[in-house]
Amino acid sequence: MAKTKPVINVAFVGHVDHGKSTTIGHLMFLAGNLTQQKLDKLKLEAQAHGKPGFEFAYYMDRFKEERERGVTIDLSYEKLITQKYEVTIIDAPGHRDFIKNMITGASQADSAFLVVAAGQGAGVQPQTKEHVWLLKTMGVNDVCVLINKMDTVGYKEEEYEKIKKDVSAVLVQAGYKPAEMNFIPCSGFKNDNLKEKGNLKWYKGPTVLEQFDNFKLPEKPTNLPLRMPIQDAYEIKGIGTVPVGKIETGVMKPGQKIIILPGRTGRGIEGEIKTIEMHHESLSMAEPGDNVGVNLRGIGKKDVARGDVICDAAKPPKVVEEFTAQIAVISHPTVIAKGYTPVFHIHTAQVPCQFIELLEVQRGGEKIASPDFLKNGDVAKVRIKPIGNLVLETQAVNPHMSRFAIRDAGATVAAGVCIDLKAKV
């Protein structure tokens, strides 16, 4: 079936317990995707787990552990049809233990709602800052801030203004322009400003549902070669191996010759696209931004894994020996020196990489060559060696395959972009 409206991927990100899953669940109820009968069942289940009020969140958090703990662990996807778009909503976990799933969610998004709760223990939190940096690193430039749980502060405009000011300071640090962004007050649980203004008559901007159509459709990089980082691969009875992921660049068609890199050997494995599916519908062509499942000819489940990339066989990228990157150090407990080997999150891959040379740093307005160390707030040029096989491209060749986040001991320490690379021979 042909797509009738353009597809846009919108992630909901933000600190744990700030109401992301509840807001999405309520939007799904308003859109008719969640029936009253199903909602009543979820309400009973939430009460049974001692979590009254979690019924909307339960619609998105389907795993037993998510429901018992009351936190989103994995990514979940929902389809929402608006006036303008077919929206794929990505509900990303806020809890710091599951940040790698949040990074995958950010890497698949075209736009995002940053959810920040009002009220007690709310406002800007550690994960709020981390998620802002990750969105910027992953190239998500179209962001709207949802100031949620306004019902807990009596819908007061001064509470909204205070949080708006605090969040704006974080956004500016990461390189966003808050003056060009919408800040929407809402109550995901009570339904204020999701579809109707409700108790927020003083607010003059769009509702949450209207904001989906305010997001700009990203230009599709169809002129670049096919690149689809694999998020997961399934073995489906009677069909075969089906990798899933978001197409970053290029066009995918049945019958197309592909190579999966780096694969288990680092030399790639060749195959052919048999069929492409999105939301259980077969496609004759898929484009950048489409989250698809792909049935491959000539490739088995043991040949592919998360972090591999489906590429155009005629124009494959390089498996990297080492690369030069521009990085911003966000939050390291001490300092970064030569020899440091954290985990790099690049598209859907997670690969340990070693800092082999600190080339230069921008610090306090001056440029220092060959610094001894890097500290928080530094913007630096560094040489990196992957410990393992990694597919990466430079910002000049393919910006969509050049960005990464650096994580260590459960936190994002830096974010950056590849500016030069040396390929493995």
Instruction: Please give the Cα distance from 320 to 344 (Å, whole number).
Output: 13
pLDDT in tens, 384-409: 999 999 999 998 899 889 988 898 88
Average pLDDT, the chain: 86
- Label residue 124 exposed, middle or buried (CB < 10 Å: 0-12, 13-18, 19+): middle
Q: Which of 264, 229, 259 is nearest to 349 (CA)?
A: 229
- pLDDT over 70, % of the chain: 89
Please tell me the predicted confidence (pLDDT) of residue 145: 97
Q: Which class is domain 7-214? A: alpha beta
pLDDT band, very low/low/confident/very high, at 272 (cuts 50, 70, 90)? very high
pLDDT band, very low/low/confident/very high, at 95 (cuts 50, 70, 90)? very low
Pick the CATH number of 227-312 from 2.40.30.10, 3.40.50.300, 2.30.40.10, 3.30.70.260: 2.40.30.10
Residue 351 three-state SS: strand
Please tell me the predicted confidence (pLDDT) of residue 125: 84
Structural tokens at position 362: 């921008």
Instruction: Please give the Cα distance from 12 to 351 (Å, whole number).
Output: 26
Please tell me the predicted confidence (pLDDT) of residue 271: 93
For residue 81, pLDDT beyond 60: yes
Which of 12-16, 188-192, 383-387 is least confident? 12-16
Please tell me the predicted confidence (pLDDT) of residue 194: 94
| Per-domain boundaries in the chain | 7-214, 227-312, 320-423
* Domain 320-423 is found in CATH 2.40.30.10: yes
The verdict on pTM exceeding 0.75 is no
Among 31-45, 102-116, 161-175, the range of highest mean pLDDT: 161-175
Please tell me the predicted confidence (pLDDT) of residue 334: 92
Find out whether 26 and 56 touch, Cβ atoms under 8 Å: yes
Which of 137-146, 192-201, 341-350, 353-362 is least confident? 137-146
Average pLDDT estimate for 285-312: 90
pLDDT in tens, 200-253: 999 999 999 999 999 998 888 999 999 999 998 888 888 888 899 999 999 999
Do the domains 320-423 and 7-214 match in fold?
no
Rounded CA Rg of the chain: 22
Structural tokens at position 363: 């610090």
Of 32 and 121, more confident: 32
pLDDT in tens, 30-72: 888 888 988 898 888 888 878 777 788 777 654 444 334 444 3
Instruction: Please give the Cα distance from 102 to 84 (Å, whole number).
Output: 26
- pLDDT over 90, % of the chain: 48
